[in-house]
């Protein structure tokens, strides 16, 4: 499997490491080291609890100098996720904030942490952001639980 030495190293580490119960990270196609899929457990205590969310991760040949493109393929109601495309607004995924110290596993952890700690000040999903900014946490949590139940098999808390 030709490709980026760093991705090959991460692949090797993942294949020999003890499985992480919260994050399942694997190659989408064994023949393409640049295409990955991750499945995240919805964080406990969040409205996403019990859900299983899939991410599509695409690395450029310049990885780890350039961040991967990470999108949700599971629909999610969250202020920092564009519902229609799964695009994620997360600082570390922007070229100016990216550092090669991040791995694909740590990126997945950061996305999972974002589910627990939404940032409503610059939302991609304005409806969701408006609920949080107006103080309607009950409405936000209710909608997030409903979408989690519909799309990610969860029941939220």
* CA 6 from centroid of its chain's CA atoms: 20
57: burial class by Cβ within 10 Å (0-12, 13-18, 19+)? Answer: buried
Helices (H), the chain: 5-16, 104-116, 126-133, 137-151
How many whole angstroms separate alpha carbon 130 and alpha carbon 94?
A: 24
Q: Annotated catalytic residue: which of 59, 89, 108, 126?
A: 89
89 is annotated as an active-site residue = yes
SS3 62: coil
- CB neighbours of 146 closer than 8 A, spacing ≥ 6? 77
Catalytic residues: 89
């Amino acid at each position: 499997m030709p490709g980026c030495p760093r991705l090959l190293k991460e692949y090797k580490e993942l294949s020999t490491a003890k499985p992480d119960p919260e994050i399942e990270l694997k190659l989408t196609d064994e023949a393409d080291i640049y295409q990955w899929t991750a499945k995240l457990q919805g964080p406990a205590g969040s409205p996403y609890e019990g859900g299983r969310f899939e991410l599509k991760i695409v690395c450029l040949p310049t990885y780890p100098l350039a961040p991967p493109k990470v999108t949700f393929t599971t629909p999610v109601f969250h202020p920092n996720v564009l519902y229609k495309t799964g695009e994620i607004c997360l600082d570390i995924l922007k070229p100016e904030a990216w550092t090669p110290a991040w791995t694909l596993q740590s990126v997945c952890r950061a996305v999972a942490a974002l589910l627990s700690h939404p940032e409503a000040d610059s939302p991609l999903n304005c409806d969701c952001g408006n609920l949080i900014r107006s103080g309607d946490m009950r409405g936000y949590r209710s909608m997030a639980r409903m979408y989690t139940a519909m799309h990610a098999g969860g029941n939220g808390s």
